[in-house]
């Protein structure tokens, strides 16, 4: 049995808990939402799955052999700071967050100064289909020591580099493309829908990229951004910072972050409107969501 702490009990944290507890591991969690009414679903999930709730970052980390930080990208360094006083000497601190190489290096310095072992983790694709076996790149001087521990827990992790920042740079550069495609498809297809030319646009794209099912891909992109745009926009802001750390202006990444946040704002307004009924819903047809967006920005 391994004592594991999850800091962040969102989608990623809950999936990891569900996959770890049945194998006898002692899992503790802390999430800022646990201090508010918004944490009620998290408390219910923890009760159903045999997860211990902690009252703070440091309390959650205390006694854990492995601490996994899976919060929003902007909180990677603050979480390392908040958890540091509770870290056990020699414990592993796995930073799952989609933060820039610079942020990972800063977080690593904090954790290592506390006597623990910091390892960056770069999640290379969407977690839900793979769950704990999502492809994971590890980085840092202690990555090679952590890899067999994670393998024993069921993770599909491999070492990218003993140099901190390499694994994160790999993920961030990939995200320039992936998150950028999401934003571009939403912008292009919604605009095309407004002008009534979506079928012509998709036909042209099929000719240029015959291997892509644009109808299916668009439906997936719309739903991922509608459901997770807030978190994704924060991640892409870290992507933009990664680009700046390389000495480039982050024109594409910065625009992608704004588009993702814009969709998240629309989804939030729809989901939490006066009627309390969701106006955005999962649909296999991206046109349904595009029409909802157009109705929001061009109300009749």
Q: Is 36 left (phi over 0), alpha (psi -120 to 50) or beta?
A: beta
Q: Which of 147-156, 197-206, 229-238 has the lowest mean pLDDT?
A: 229-238
Q: What pLDDT was estimated at residue 280?
A: 54
- Tell me if 270 sits within 8 A of 279, measured CB to CB: yes
- What is the rounded CA–CA span in Å between residue 169 and residue 238? 10
- What is the rounded CA–CA span in Å between residue 187 and residue 223? 14
- In the structure, what pLDDT confidence band is assigned to residue 275 with cuts at 50, 70 and 90? very low
Q: What pLDDT was estimated at residue 1?
A: 77
Cα 41 to chain centroid distance, Å, stands at: 19
Rg (CA), the chain: 20
* Pairing of β 135-139 and β 117-123: antiparallel
- In the structure, what pLDDT confidence band is assigned to residue 284 with cuts at 50, 70 and 90? confident
DSSP state of 116: -
With CA atoms as reference, report the closest residue to 4 among 22, 28, 32: 28
Statement: residue 274 has pLDDT above 60: no
Mean pLDDT computed over 1-13: 94
Question: Domain boundaries in the chain?
Answer: 3-162, 168-297
- What is the rounded CA–CA span in Å between residue 83 and residue 164? 20
pTM: 0.86
Domain 168-297 -> CATH class? mainly alpha
Statement: residue 270 has pLDDT above 70: no
At residue 31, what are phi and psi to the nearest 5 degrees? -145, 140
Query: Which one has a higher pLDDT value, 275 or 87?
Result: 87
CATH 1.10.357.10 for domain 3-162, yes or no, is: no
- Tell me if 138 sits within 8 A of 183, measured CB to CB: no
- In the structure, what pLDDT confidence band is assigned to residue 210 with cuts at 50, 70 and 90? very high
| CA torsion through residues 147, 150, 151, 156, sign | negative
How far is residue 261 from each of residues 27, 72, 180, 226, 235, measured CA to CA in Å? 32, 14, 13, 10, 11
Q: Is 267 left (phi over 0), alpha (psi -120 to 50) or beta?
A: alpha
- What is the rounded CA–CA span in Å between residue 239 and residue 257? 9
- In the structure, what pLDDT confidence band is assigned to residue 268 with cuts at 50, 70 and 90? confident
Per-residue model confidence as pLDDT tens digits over 224-261: 898 888 888 999 999 999 999 999 999 999 999 999 99
Q: Is 249 left (phi over 0), alpha (psi -120 to 50) or beta?
A: beta
- In the structure, what pLDDT confidence band is assigned to residue 64 with cuts at 50, 70 and 90? very high
Domains 3-162 and 168-297 share a fold: no
> What percentage of the chain carries pLDDT values higher than 70?
95
- Tell me if 11 sits within 8 A of 34, measured CB to CB: no
């Amino acid at each position: 049995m391994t004592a594991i702490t999850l800091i962040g009990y969102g989608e990623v944290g809950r999936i990891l808990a569900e996959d770890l507890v049945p194998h006898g591991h002692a899992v503790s969690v802390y999430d800022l939402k646990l201090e508010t009414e918004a944490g009620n679903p998290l408390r219910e999930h923890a009760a159903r799955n045999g997860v211990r709730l902690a009252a703070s970052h440091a309390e959650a980390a205390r006694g854990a052999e492995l601490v996994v930080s899976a919060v929003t990208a902007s909180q990677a360094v603050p979480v390392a700071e908040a958890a540091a006083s509770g870290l056990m000497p020699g414990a592993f601190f796995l930073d799952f967050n989609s933060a820039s190489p610079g942020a990972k290096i800063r977080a690593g310095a904090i954790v290592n100064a506390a006597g623990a072992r910091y390892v960056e983790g770069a999640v290379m694709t969407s977690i839900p289909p793979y769950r704990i076996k999502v492809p994971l790149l590890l980085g840092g001087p202690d990555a090679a020591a952590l890899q067999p521990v994670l393998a024993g827990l069921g993770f599909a992790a491999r070492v990218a580099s003993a140099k901190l920042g390499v694994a994160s740079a790999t993920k961030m550069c990939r995200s320039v493309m992936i998150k950028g495609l999401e934003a571009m498809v939403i912008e292009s297809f919604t605009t095309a829908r407004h002008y009534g030319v979506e079928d012509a646009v998709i036909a042209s794209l099929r000719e240029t990229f015959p291997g892509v099912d644009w109808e299916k891909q668009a439906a997936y992109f719309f739903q991922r951004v509608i459901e997770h745009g807030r978190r994704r926009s924060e991640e892409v802001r870290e992507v933009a910072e990664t680009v700046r750390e390389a000495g480039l202006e982050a024109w594409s990444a910065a625009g992608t972050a704004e588009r993702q946040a814009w969709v998240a704002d629309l989804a939030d307004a729809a989901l939490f409107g006066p009627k309390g009924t969701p106006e955005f819903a999962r649909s296999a047809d991206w046109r349904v969501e595009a029409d909802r967006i157009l109705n929001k920005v061009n109300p009749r």
